[in-house]
Chains A and B, each alone.
Chain A
Amino acid sequence: MNRFAELLDRLVLTPSRNGKLTLLRDYFHSVEDPDRGLALAAITGDLNIAAVKPAMLRALVVERMDPVLFGYSYDYVGDLAETVSLVWPQPQRHIPNQVPTLAEVVGKLQAASRSDGPKVLARLLDDASISARFAIIKLVTGGLRIGVSARLAKQALADLGKVDVAEIEELWHGLAPPYTELFAWLEGRAEKPRSAALALFRPVMLSNAVDDNDLEKLEPADYVAEWKWDGIRVQAVCEGGVRRLYSRTGDDVSGAFPDLAAAMTFEAALDGELLVGDPREATGTFSDLQQRLNRKSVSPKIQQRYPAFMRCYDALQIDGEDLRALPFAERRNRLEAFVGTLDPSRFDLSPFVAFSDWETLERLRQAPPHPIIEGVMLKRWDSPYLAGRPKGPWFKWKRDPHTIDAVLMYAQRGHGKRSSFYSDYTFGVWSGPEGSEELVPVGKAYFGFTDEELREIDKYVRDNTIERFGPVRSVRADRRNGLVLEVAFEGLNRSTRHKSGVAMRFPRISRLRWDKPAAEADRIETLQALLDG
């Protein structure tokens, strides 16, 4: 239990992806079964433990200590789980002679009935160290919030076993905690687990971005072009009555899209893009799609207003036949025939974009017919369906990003290599009537610049600081003073969380405009026009 607790403590404060991978890999390497598998399940969200409500936790602790002292403590710390882990009084009567394992803790929590749950939890907290108490409380209150995705945990497993992460994703849904057979395979002690489970995820084929001089080497006739839809890449798999809708990393997202899942009445594995709207009439915008994202439950009203459908790209399996080794042209023929048999309000085909040379395609790419198109895809007619991101068969050729000139407002110190640099920048654009313009923050970016430019901005920040809040500095920015940053971004969403009402997608610094006076930076109306357009 203590090793799991220590892992959580480290992960939550480690910002870098590589640092997290090292910590996870070392943990999986050094901890034995079944503890490591349960830890893995806790991180990927596959561990089922009956939840304890915060009010119950609070009640447990004030039975054991002065409520006034608890109040002072909670006010100071601000986080209930952390406060309880710190103030929980260790009973005088006993010092546990051994630290319980994660498996023992999970076993006791899972075996607890609804009525004796609180008592079981209290006894576990009595026996645990402070860090372990925090980990236990996190397990029972749901959601570890340690900044580690299921995908990252799988990558750490792949590093441990020196296998491709796609292999783990393909296996994943046929496995269950504590994943003993998975670890045995990764450590070379057993064969790769074979799963009899149905409707498993198949690792997705990804594309490479078109580089400046890629196209001149490519023959247009070898390739087919499709629009690149900016929805959610999904895989719909139905097998022997089991239906699953997967994200491109193999997470099961069926629960978020029950309307689409209900229409999956076939025997096949299809690759496509999840979008909203009715494909026979109109495809929704990205803002429409957002109404369906990151929701725990979807009301019938939302489902009706923003119905989910799948725009099909490829067929990996139809009626039990694996098609992945066939050339794209052949798979596409099968797909066209197959999609024709499906509910047309839920499934349609991704149309081809006709072109004869790259110049024609370039013109089409720059002026796509729908706002949710972010460029074109190029696929070789003869390409088999390969897991991962092979170089050559598939390319994405994105529309040029939007850019805006914004003024640097706040800078925050980075981490690791950048811990002595102000490397995370909040920038704003002008708003308000002429003569009393104010900067309103519109986004934050922490890459896109060279190391040399980072040093220059860092110096600028240090020389122009007007206020400090912990690791954040407020930088001089008014009509006469300020550093203008050219910010590139992929799109805009409406946002109720930001004062400006907009949220940028994938913002990065594309150029430093030392030459440009702050007063000439863009206004908020420029962004609003983009939102409405």
Chain B
Amino acid sequence: MFKAMRASDLLKSRPEGLYCPPGDFFIDPVRPVERALITHGHSDHARSGHSSVLATQETLDIMGLRYGEDFAGKTQAAVPGETLDINSVAVTFHPAGHVLGSAQICVEYKGMRIVASGDYKRQKDATCLPFEPIRCDVFITEATFGLPVFRHPPDHEEIARVLKSAAQFPERSHLIGAYALGKAQRVMRLLRDAGYDKPIYIHGALAKLSEYYQSQGIDLGRLEPGTVESGTKADFAGAIVVGPPSAFADRWARRFPDPISCFASGWMRIRQRAKQGGVELPLIISDHADWDELIITIKETGAAEIWVTHGREEALVRWCELEGIAARPLHLVGYEDEGD
């Protein structure tokens, strides 16, 4: 089919981020710009200070919680599946399955369709809408776990290991390190789905976002602040505590009795990573696609060309070559390589 448009004329890498010249907008820019389209609320993708922001309502809400209500000049909510016209470029948001509100952004112009997936995963997650594969000419994929060694097990099996350990060590507390947006709430929801009905203690950094998830109809059960006021050391015996990973190396963690440190992350697949971080119970729970999910998704999009961003581009590009799919790394700056 004849294409009037070259893909690289529709989206290109600029220091500010991924730019669409005909539409005059950026996707997930890392510096303040005139018009930003944002895939999801993690701080390396969603920054404050843009003149106008287009994102899903949940992402806008999350940005408001993190940066204050005046995080952007003006905002517009994108409804998943509904196409908007931006300077004649057709823009559609589709669920990405990464965290609450996360979306892929599909841009189409003169017969050329590119999907920028942001971060995504394919495992079922009760805290957000599932990923929808979109047929496209070019698919821009993340590659956080773009190596064949990354294979995420079913998340309920990982949660079962925490509950088993909590039964084995009833005198100790289990501290689960989990990223404050998305991972923490998913872990709590998984605990509930596994039948855990005791209060879950949370670090203060998780309070606002967890409350927001609950307000969106995602039931996380009873959450209590993990503060000294809510109990003495003995009261935390047998407790499950969720907090940002950094908090557990901190003095904050001293209020808990002989804690077993757990860390919910795709990186926990690698024993040495767990060992170096002093993690006793690694939980391989990730909001990013693992190797198998990446390659299935690439196939499902039917894209003739793959652009690979943040992560381990080389292995995924190699795999595409072996499959006869054109692929190249898209060097975008400013995203956390290890953001999980």
Shortest distance between the CB of B170 and any CB in chain A (Å): 10
Contact in complex: A420, B278 (CB < 8 Å): no
B64 within 8 A of A: no
A69 within 8 A of B: yes
Contact in complex: B315, A69 (CB < 8 Å): yes
A14 within 8 A of B: yes
Shortest distance between the CB of A506 and any CB in chain B (Å): 24
**Residues of B with C-beta under 8 A to A317:** none
Other-chain contact of A13, B148, B248, B282, B318 (Cβ < 8 Å): B282
**Residues of B with C-beta under 8 A to A471:** 249, 276-278
In the docked arrangement, what's the CA distance between A417 and B161, Å? 21
Look across to chain B and name the residue whose beta carbon is closest to the beta carbon of A12.
Answer: B271
Contact in complex: B318, A72 (CB < 8 Å): yes
In the docked arrangement, what's the CA distance between A415 and B281, Å? 12
**Residues of B with C-beta under 8 A to A22:** 168-169
**Residues of A with C-beta under 8 A to B124:** none
In the docked arrangement, what's the CA distance between A171 and B161, Å? 35
Given the known A-B contacts A73-B148, A416-B258, are A14 and B318 also in contact in the complex, defined by CB atoms under 8 Å?
no
Given the known A-B contacts A14-B280, A82-B270, are A417 and B258 also in contact in the complex, defined by CB atoms under 8 Å?
yes
In the docked arrangement, what's the CA distance between A77 and B169, Å? 31
Other-chain contact of B248, A78, A416, A420 (Cβ < 8 Å): A420
Shortest distance between the CB of A134 and any CB in chain B (Å): 9
A19 within 8 A of B: yes
Other-chain contact of B281, A13, A87, A417 (Cβ < 8 Å): A13
B153 within 8 A of A: yes
A-B pair count, CB < 8 Å, reads: 96
B137 within 8 A of A: no
Range of interface residues on chain B?
A: 35 or more
**Residues of B with C-beta under 8 A to A419:** 248-249, 253, 259, 261, 278
**Residues of B with C-beta under 8 A to A26:** 168
**Residues of A with C-beta under 8 A to B169:** 19, 22
Given the known A-B contacts A13-B271, A419-B261, are A69 and B148 also in contact in the complex, defined by CB atoms under 8 Å?
yes
Other-chain contact of B322, A66, A87, A415 (Cβ < 8 Å): A66
Look across to chain B and name the residue whose beta carbon is closest to the beta carbon of A26.
Answer: B168
Contact in complex: A79, B275 (CB < 8 Å): no
Look across to chain A and name the residue whose beta carbon is closest to the beta carbon of B247.
Answer: A420
Shortest distance between the CB of B250 and any CB in chain A (Å): 6
Could you give, for residues 233-257 of chain B, a 1 whenever the CB lies within 8 Å of some chain A CB and a 0 otherwise? 0000000000000001111111001
Shortest distance between the CB of A446 and any CB in chain B (Å): 13
**Residues of B with C-beta under 8 A to A79:** 271-272
Shortest distance between the CB of B281 and any CB in chain A (Å): 7
A215 within 8 A of B: no
Q: Which residues of A (205-237) have their CB < 8 Å from a CB of B?
A: none
A86 within 8 A of B: yes
Shortest distance between the CB of B340 and any CB in chain A (Å): 15
Shortest distance between the CB of A95 and any CB in chain B (Å): 14
B residues whose Cβ falls under 8 Å from a Cβ of A: 147-151, 153, 161, 165, 168-169, 172, 248-254, 257-261, 269-272, 274-282, 312, 314-315, 318-319, 322
